[in-house]
Every structure is written in C-alpha cells, then in structure tokens.
Amino acid sequence: MGPQASGKGTQAEKIAQQYGLLHFSVGDFLRAEVKKRTELGRKAEKIMDEGGLMEDEIIFGIVKQEVSQHPDGVIFDGFPRTEVQAQMLHEIVPINAVIDIKIHDEIAVKRISSRLVCSKCGEGYNTISQPPKKEGVCDNDGAPLIHRDDDVPEAVRHRLELYHKETEPILAYYRNEGVKVFDINGEQRIDKVFEDIKEAIDSLQV
Ligand code: AMP
C-alpha cells in the first residue's frame, strides 16, 4: 500500500520478479479495459479521470478471478483500497503481509507532475528519478510518453484525499487481524526502498 506516486507499481514489479509472484495492478487492468473500449472500461474511464474509486463489488470480481488463476501467489498493487475490499479479500485468501510505502503528500504531488507513461505499452517513467533513454519516447517501443489522464492536479488532490480517508484505515484493520504491516520509507532511492522491502519479506516465516 501507499499513496499515489509512492512507487507501488515499481516496487511491486521488482517483488514479483524476486519472489516469483504475479504482479497484479487493478489500475493497469482498468486502463487496459479503457483502451479496449469494453463496457467496464467505459465505466472505469469516467471514475478514474475524476480520481474516484470503482465500486468494491466490481473490483472484487476482477481480483477473485486473478487469485483463482494464480494459486502460487499474487502481489496486489493498489488493492485493497477500502476496508470493504480488505474484508472481502480476507475471506478468500490468507494475507501474509502488508507493505506500506510511506511518502508525504507534497512529495507525491511533486513526483506525479514528473510522471510519464508510454502511450502504447503503458511502461512508467519519471523525468527525475527514472528518465527514458531518449527524451519523450518509450525505451521499449519508441512510442510517445504522455501524462496519465488522472495525473492532473485536481484529480491528484482528490485521490490523495481518498487515500487518507478510505485506504489508510485498512492498516488498522490489518493490525487488528494480526497481519504483519511493514512501514517502508518510500522517499529513498528506488533500490534502497526495494532492499528494505526484501528485508521485511525475508523476515517472514512463511
Ligand atoms: P492506480 O493505477 O493504482 O493509481 O489506479 C488508478 C485508478 O483506478 C484509481 O484512481 C481508481 O479510480 C481505480 N482503482 C484502482 N484500484 C482500485 C481499487 N482497488 N478500488 C477502486 N478503484 C480502483
């Protein structure tokens, strides 16, 4: 878990590789649906552009399917985002640990303004911490880099507000349920954040 631009996606990708897990980002899944112009995508587009949250039941249906298809383990990125989602998840799968990447709101806003994604493959970049090899184009496929539609200041502020109101309370829920919650300082270099996460995961007796 972590607020917008805390590095959830970047770290989840690394964790998935290191531990052989599926990296599942609900946000990426929804963006793919928007691109495909499916019914779900059309619904998601409006909500995402406003910086809102999709309905818990819809999100849970998507997650449930992923869990059933990947019995070896999944690292969720951006899920659960509400206590209802956390409760639903708890009923179908045991949670080993929660990784909470902490950054201040001002840092999140600053990072988001320098965040870019590939218009074709969706690969993420940051003009300060993770620049592409060639300015403005994707390293993978040479397609132009753009700002995400929901990375406009108005939507970002709304997403941060929702994070504090709806998502942060989940940490207390997990602590109550006896799930180990690791607090990670997300304001360090990407590789240092990953080192701290690895240390936390390796300390688990799974
Ligand atoms: P992300 O890429 O994780 O920042 O997600 C982008 C957007 O997708 C969010 O701002 C929400 O509109 C939607 N979304 C992603 N994950 C969830 C979730 N677990 N519950 C509800 N909406 C979500």
> With contact defined as beta carbons under 8 Å apart, do 180 and 97 qualify?
yes
> With contact defined as beta carbons under 8 Å apart, do 132 and 125 qualify?
yes
Atom from ligand 1 closest to the CA of residue 155? 10
DSSP 1-19: --STTSSHHHHHHHHHHHH
151 lines ligand 1 (CB under 6 A): no
169 lines ligand 1 (CB under 6 A): no
Select from 60, 101, 112 the least CA-distant residue to 81.
60
Q: Which class for 73: exposed (0-12), middle (13-18), buried (19 or more C-beta within 10 A)?
A: middle
Which tens digit of pLDDT belongs to each residue from 94-109?
888 899 999 999 999 9
Residue 206 confidence class, pLDDT cut points 50, 70, 90: low
In angstroms, the CA 115 to CA 147 distance is 7
What single-letter amino acid sits at 39? E
Give the DSSP H or E segment for 80. none
Angle between helices 105-113 and 153-162 (to 10 degrees): 150
In angstroms, the CA 86 to CA 20 distance is 23
Read off the DSSP letter of residue 111.
H
Q: Is the pLDDT of residue 205 over 80?
A: no
In angstroms, the CA 75 to CA 15 distance is 8
End-to-end CA distance of the chain: 20
Kindly report the pTM of this predicted structure.
0.85
Pocket test for ligand 1, best of 8, 26, 28, 76 (most atoms within 8 A of CB): 26
Atom from ligand 1 closest to the CA of residue 30? 8
Which tens digit of pLDDT belongs to each residue from 124-167?
899 988 899 999 999 999 999 999 888 888 888 889 999 999 99
